[in-house]
Chain A
Amino acid sequence: MTYHNPPTPPRKSATFDDAALAEIRRAAATGIYDIRGGGTKRKVPHFDDLLFLGASMSRYPLEGYRERCDTAVTLGTRFAKKPIELKIPVTIAGMSFGALSGPAKEALGRGATLAGTSTTTGDGGMTNEERGHSELLVYQYLPSRYGMNPTDLRRADAIEVVVGQGAKPGGGGMLLGQKISDRVAEMRTLPKGIDQRSACRHPDWTGPDDLEIKILELREITDWEKPIYIKVGGARPYYDTALAVKAGADVVVLDGMQGGTAASQDVFIEHVGQPTLACIRPAVQALQDLGMHRKVQLVVSGGIRSGADVAKALALGADAVSVGTAALVAIGDNDPRWESEYNALGTTAGAYDDWHEGKDPAGITTQDPALAARLDPIAASRRLANYLKVITLEAQTIARACGHNHLHNLEPEDLVALTIEAAAMARVPLAGTDWIPGHKGL
């Protein structure tokens, strides 16, 4: 009798899965690390794992549409002569002209203005388009200082000193040359078409003790009018927040790892930093320990999509949130209407992240005049304003259901967590229990 081995089906490694294998081949073939736009794509614990309790017998809800639930927020009340007053607690995050096209920046400015909120420049200076179309514009002060000048500093409504961003805390970066067009090159004082290297530390200060002096200089130049924000990536949020306060910040902007980027190494985006969910409570704790909660405002960004996300961030102690990726989607990024063009680029709508290549079919992350012309800034701004108003309305709906007459009255006790991870990170109890893992007696 002969024995036949039964055939075993082919089995792929869970460790060396298709994505890992593809990346090894890509690195071997190209000799450069993978650079892309967008934020973290891996699944990390997020706001989805939190739920609001709502009111019933022990608490009373507010009547929707009739009983007020305020949404206004003032940023920069600590030292600035002219704090920023926003109608909604959702702002537009910093995205550069260079990374984005002129029409895209214009759309963001117009849309934010329609919704009563601010927008932010990026690593590339301030353009007349965005200043002209933004009622409230935050001017970023970055390590590269591209396009930095005192006239724009004075034209700004607030100054955001960028220490880090969620996509790459501790990192500088490299923007490949395709997007260094004539205008971008001129604004940045760079040769056209080169691969631009950016520094990770500011050129003229290091550490909070020096930052305090830098802030003094910026306040003196602008005659103490402008709120000074300090933006940090979600790395060590307790210390970073405390030190930003000690250095003299009016506002701390905290960007979790899901925060987007125009062009960063994939290894950085996916492997450095903490999820937004894990960053908020330590930052709020730092503010509370210093007696500065609500006095120095906390703006949280990184993966904010919906009114539920807004309400959850605020309940955990943020004063406002910032959206970047969601704003781009609202104005048309990764829209299925361009599917055939995404296919031609070897991708699909929803997955397109080669923003650094400047071939964006939606005309947003590009400097190609023909592509950029596809974006109608007026129509796009209407879409952005709609989106911002909808998520604010959603957050109000939740706040009313929890019995609050202002979004800022949402509190951690309004929340429970669906998973142990989210419970530990958000420091709220696991649903159905009074258990906050890792935080005895908090």
Chain B
Amino acid sequence: MCGIVGLFLKDRKLEGELGALTAEMLVTMTDRGPDSAGIAVYGAAIPGFVKVTVQSDMPARAFAALDALARTAAGDAATVTIKDSHAVITIAADRIEPLRVALTGAPEPLRIMSVGETMEIYKETGLPKDVVSRFGIGTMAGTHAIGHTRMATESAVTTLGAHPFSTGADQCLVHNGSLSNHNNLRRELRRLGIAFETENDSEVAAAHLTARMRDGRNLGEALTDALGNLDGFFTFVVGTRTGFGVLRDPIACKPAVMAETSRYVAFGSEYRALSGLPGIETARIWEPEPAAVYFWDRDGSTGDKMLAA
């Protein structure tokens, strides 16, 4: 039960403001989710490099030797940027596995939040305004971002229970609603070798997409499959390196508003979240249809592209 925001920019001139715009959207959704907040920001890619975002509950200790660990595992080109409880390690794309091994063996526990060419995920417990300021989201630039404020229903209020959930390289998902078959699905996905870190229903939704995409389905197809396999109430906003998707369950009684102008596509659980966006007064505003998949991709033709309905 939560607030979701998402912003997908079409106009490159807005990229410098991505963090500021989405931070405001996120804070506006505090009432819907005061327990924790998180955001995935898709920034600039460095050719040949990937970003690994890690998190620690004791960053002072855990990050002290992170630089050395990264260089040992991934070579001298590795860099580390620390932001509060999170750190972004940038390494050559072919050094992912040695780094993963090194992180797993680190003396202080570290959690990998995301891996990707452009995506960084920041999430923590606490009020959205605090989460946003701890990570300096307001100054970040990028192409698209997806954020979430959480009112925990059945699973614990923890960092890992916060959204977004990463579903694979440069992929993430946020969820509002409540799934009713996530326990059975989790058991099924575990048998397929997918690891879970929380009892959260949304992590199961994310893993379901991962499993489908691993089988060669694209994101739009995986979302369409989700309609058949997930039971309960859900609104998902998902991100890929170049794309931005929205899916609503067939009952569609949780709130969802979308806005589109020539400069962006935006999603909010409520209109309030969209009210600070430039040109919102003249945007096309609508509510996503039940059981329909919406998907926009920077690599595709400009403008929106609906894969399924």
Contact = CB atoms under 8 A, between A and B. Distances in A.
Interface of A: 201, 206-210, 212-213, 236, 239, 243, 246
B179 to A, nearest CB: 13
Nearest to B255: A210
A243 B1 contact: yes
Given A207-B177, A210-B255, A239-B154, 8 more contacts: A201-B253, A206-B233, A206-B253, A206-B254, A207-B254, A209-B269, A213-B31, A246-B151
Contact of B1 (A201, A208, A236): A208
Contact of B153 (A210, A212, A239): A239
12 contacts: A206-B253, A208-B1, A208-B153, A209-B3, A209-B31, A209-B32, A209-B33, A209-B269, A239-B153, A239-B154, A243-B151, A243-B153
A236 B253 contact: no
B132 interface: no
Contacts of B2: 209
Contacts of B167: none
Contacts of A207: 1, 177-178, 233, 254
Interface string B139-162: 000000000000101100000000
Q: Please list the 5 inter-chain residue pairs (A to B) with the smallest Cβ-Cβ separation, ordered nearest first.
A: A209-B32, A209-B1, A206-B253, A207-B1, A208-B1
Contacts of A209: 1-3, 31-33, 151, 176, 269
Contacts of B178: 207
Interface in B1-43: 1-3, 31-34
Contacts of B33: 209
B32 to A, nearest CB: 4
A243 B150 CA distance: 12
A179 B253 CA distance: 32
Nearest to A247: B151
B275 to A, nearest CB: 16
Contacts of B255: 210
Contact of B154 (A212, A213, A236): A236
Interface in B249-279: 253-255, 269
Contacts of A213: 31
Contacts of A239: 153-154
Contacts of B34: 246
A206 B32 CA distance: 12
B31 A212 contact: yes
B163 to A, nearest CB: 14
Contacts of B32: 209, 212
Contacts of B253: 201, 206
Contacts of A236: 154
A108 B80 CA distance: 71
Contacts of B3: 209
A239 B153 CA distance: 6
A208 B151 contact: yes
Contacts of A206: 233, 253-254
Nearest to A212: B31
Nearest to B155: A239
Residue of A207, A208, A239, A246 ringed by the most chain B CB atoms within 10 A:
A207
A407 to B, nearest CB: 33
A213 B270 CA distance: 11
A207 to B, nearest CB: 5
Contacts of A243: 1, 151, 153
A399 B188 CA distance: 52
Interface in B277-297: none
Nearest to B35: A246
A290 to B, nearest CB: 11
Nearest to A205: B253
A316 B244 CA distance: 50
Residue of B1, B3, B33 ringed by the most chain A CB atoms within 10 A:
B1
Interface string B110-151: 000000000000000000000000000000000000000001
Contacts of A208: 1, 151, 153
A201 B251 CA distance: 12
Nearest to A246: B151
A209 B177 CA distance: 10
Contacts of B269: 209
A97 B58 CA distance: 60
A291 to B, nearest CB: 14
A269 to B, nearest CB: 22
Nearest to B233: A206
Nearest to A208: B1
A212 B178 CA distance: 17
Nearest to A248: B31
A56 B254 CA distance: 57
Contacts of A246: 34, 151
A335 B31 CA distance: 51
Residue of A206, A207, A208, A209 ringed by the most chain B CB atoms within 10 A:
A209
A56 B176 CA distance: 55
A213 B153 CA distance: 17
Contacts of A212: 31-32
A206 B31 CA distance: 15
A237 to B, nearest CB: 12
B217 to A, nearest CB: 30
